[in-house]
Amino acid sequence: MKTFGDITAVRDVSFAVEAGEMFAFLGPNGAGKTTTIKMLTTLLTPTSGSVEVDGQDPATHAISVRRKFGIVFQDPSLDQELTAAENMRLHAALYAVPKTARDDRIERLLKLFELWDRRDSLVKQFSGGMRRRLEIARGLLHTPKILFLDEPTLGLDPQTRNQLWVLVRQLNEQEGVTIFLTTHYMDEAERVAQRIAIIDHGAIVAEGSAAALKERTSTGTLEEAFLALTGTTIREEPGSGLDQMRNMAKMWSGRR
């Protein structure tokens, strides 16, 4: 459980993700997805309850838990004034990737994500899709066991989305990276995830494979199953100061 003052963001979220699994975490806006990810990734500590990531508690073993995962945040976290290669090298320094392995790994990842030719371009000149690919490449640089993807395909065109999931699935199958993802696109979740959990009002309302969820709600598509489980009311998310700033930043970067 996690409370912020009077507001309870997450109250009853119990689940386990198997190593090597692709696990999708779905829910309407404000359901508690990002709060849950923040608790898993040491950015927030739960008010009550326990969390374990690869056998360790993120609240007490923050540093060693952080070595185990890579994360692609809901909104961008690259330094736009640096080049793609510089962003990668900075990440390598933060995660103490050995110098000998560093350059090989950067080259391999940038080639895999088709960014090698643009490695010396500033990130601010990149398209949304390229930035996303670079963030995922960066998140994998320290060879994490787990990759968190918080709405990684938001705002991307179908081609880029497709390419991105092909790459992510490849990583999962070939390197055994556990994938924990959130998305609003039900077709994506159905396509890539072996198991799905649906969260609403801070609690998990259903968990299982896409087929099991459809069967349970006797619906034809995952989207219908999702609506059957979470209702059709539109959720209002209060705009925080941070959201307002994000909008301001969008305007600024648009002008440049």
Residues with Cβ < 8 Å from 207, sequence gap 6 or more?
15, 195, 196, 197, 198
Under the binding rule (CB under 8 A), the answer on residue 244 touching other proteins is yes
SS3 181: strand
Under the binding rule (CB under 8 A), the answer on residue 29 touching other proteins is no
Identify which of residues 100 and 159 has a Cβ nearer to other proteins in the complex: 100
Under the binding rule (CB under 8 A), the answer on residue 96 touching other proteins is yes
In the complex, least distance from residue 7 CB atom to other proteins, rounded to whole angstroms: 14
Pairing of strands 22-26, 69-72: unpaired
Under the binding rule (CB under 8 A), the answer on residue 117 touching other proteins is no
Beta pairing partners, 72: 149
Under the binding rule (CB under 8 A), the answer on residue 76 touching other proteins is yes
Dihedral sign of CA atoms 72, 252, 29, 126 in order: negative
Residues with Cβ < 8 Å from 140, sequence gap 6 or more?
70, 109, 147, 171, 177
Residues with Cβ < 8 Å from 112, sequence gap 6 or more?
137, 167
Under the binding rule (CB under 8 A), the answer on residue 75 touching other proteins is yes
**Is residue 207 a contact partner of residue 195, using CB atoms and an 8 Å limit?**
yes
In the complex, least distance from residue 71 CB atom to other proteins, rounded to whole angstroms: 6
Which residues inside 158-217 make contact with other proteins, applying CB under 8 A? none
Report the alpha-carbon angle 141-142-146, nearest 5: 100
Under the binding rule (CB under 8 A), the answer on residue 241 touching other proteins is yes
Which residue from 13, 31, 78, 198 is in contact with other proteins, where contact means CB under 8 A?
Answer: 78
Judged by CB under 8 A, which stretch of 7-15, 66-74, 173-181, 199-207 contacts other proteins?
A: 66-74
Identify which of residues 88 and 186 has a Cβ nearer to other proteins in the complex: 88
Give the side-chain half-sphere CA count within 13 A for 84.
25
Binding residues for other proteins, how many (CB under 8 A)? 37
Identify which of residues 61 and 169 has a Cβ nearer to other proteins in the complex: 61
* Contacts to other proteins by CB under 8 A: 38, 41-44, 63-64, 66-67, 71, 73, 75-82, 86, 89-91, 93-96, 122, 138, 240-242, 244-246, 248-249
